[in-house]
């Protein structure tokens, strides 16, 4: 019923920047919390940044000062601007969203398929 599609990943050199996007589609009534997670090979999935429906934000310590999460509620979209990228930022980045569908009020969690970010020289 709801699909999340990430875009904007790719190969970038250390110190470079990327802007990730997440587009939600389907029978969406309301989108509540949204977040970016990432998972590197052999490691657990971790929270990168989170943004509420009211635009409150929080970031992983490793991302503070060099990333900005934002959302556009009129477009059902979320973004992550990442600057000063480091090799340790290399991972698959996933879009996460809590969504109510159609005319219902039940909130369900949805995940995107992920987009690869590789930081390397």
In angstroms, rounded to a whole number, what is the distance separating the alpha carbons of residues 100 and 68? Answer: 25
In angstroms, rounded to a whole number, what is the distance separating the alpha carbons of residues 121 and 87? Answer: 9
DSSP state of 87: G
Average pLDDT over residues 33-43: 97
Average pLDDT over residues 34-58: 97
pLDDT at position 104 is 81
pLDDT at position 71 is 97
Residues 37, 48: contact at Cβ < 8 Å?
yes
Give residue-wise pLDDT tens across range 69-110.
999 999 999 999 999 999 999 999 999 999 999 888 899 999
């Amino acid at each position: 019923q709801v699909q999340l599609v990430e875009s904007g990943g790719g190969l970038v050199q250390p110190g470079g920047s990327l802007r990730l996007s997440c587009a939600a589609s389907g029978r969406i009534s309301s989108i509540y919390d949204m977040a970016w997670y990432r998972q590197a090979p052999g490691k657990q999935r971790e929270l990168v940044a989170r943004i509420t429906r009211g635009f409150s934000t929080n970031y992983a310590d490793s991302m503070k000062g060099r990333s900005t999460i934002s959302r556009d509620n009129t477009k059902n979209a979320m973004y992550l601007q990442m600057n000063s990228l480091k090799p340790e930022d290399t991972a698959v980045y996933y879009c996460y969203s809590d969504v109510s569908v159609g005319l219902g009020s039940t909130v369900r969690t949805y995940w995107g398929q992920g987009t690869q970010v590789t930081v390397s020289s």
